[in-house]
Amino acid sequence: MATSEAEQVLVEKAQKLKLLILDVDGVLTDGRLFFDNEGIEYKCFHARDGHGIKLLRKTGVEVAVISGRKSNSVALRMEKLGIKHVYQGHEDKRAAFNDVMEKLGITPDQAAHVGDDVLDLPIMVRVGLSIAVADAHFAVIQRADWCTSLPGGNGAVREVCDFIMQAQGHFDEALNAYLQ
């Protein structure tokens, strides 16, 4: 799978993962915010990202969401995906990060984080594998171990889930379930 030394380092980091932490706006969505005339907020999630999360969770990797904003649509989507660790309204994401690490009993090097903006940096600098989406803020891309080829809200999370499953040797098994 990996050919260069840098790619091998990424694979080794991904092999250790027990937790994938996701931001919402700009990662699970394209970052745009939609409001109707009554102020009700709408978000658009990509179906492939959701399916990738479900496949990854089946391999034993837990998924958590830590968002600076609060939204009912996020709570509903995460419930449908079976994500139990959802932290909303945390502009300073460190407390939520510490809480989920303690609840799961894992160390930071067993976690990955996908972010797009500077609010994500306090977690990204603590985890074993930090990931920026393709259209992330330049300061986030500069500090990430890896940058996806796809932008947030457009399959970047699926790209991450597939990479982790490949690194951990679960991708072919997941794919074969659809080929039989």
pLDDT tens digit string along 102-153?
Answer: 999 999 999 999 999 999 999 999 999 999 999 999 999 999 999 999 999 9
| Owning domain of residue 151 | 5-179
Phi first, then psi, for residue 8 (nearest 5°) are -65, -40
Rounded Cα–Cα distance for residues 16 and 51 (Å): 22
Q: In this structure, what are the phi and psi dihedrals at residue 11, rounded to the nearest 5 degrees? A: -60, -45
Kindly report the length of the chain: 180
- Overall pTM surpassing 0.85 (yes/no): yes
CATH number of the domain encompassing residue 119: 3.40.50.1000
Give residues with Cβ within 8 angstroms of 102, minimum separation 6: none
Give the C-alpha separation, 56 to 132, whole Å: 19
Instruction: State whether residue 146 is helix, strand or coil.
Output: strand
Rg (alpha carbons) of the chain, rounded to whole number = 15
pLDDT digits (tens, 9 = 90+) for 17-60: 999 999 999 999 999 988 899 988 889 999 999 999 999 999 99
Structural domain count of the chain: 1
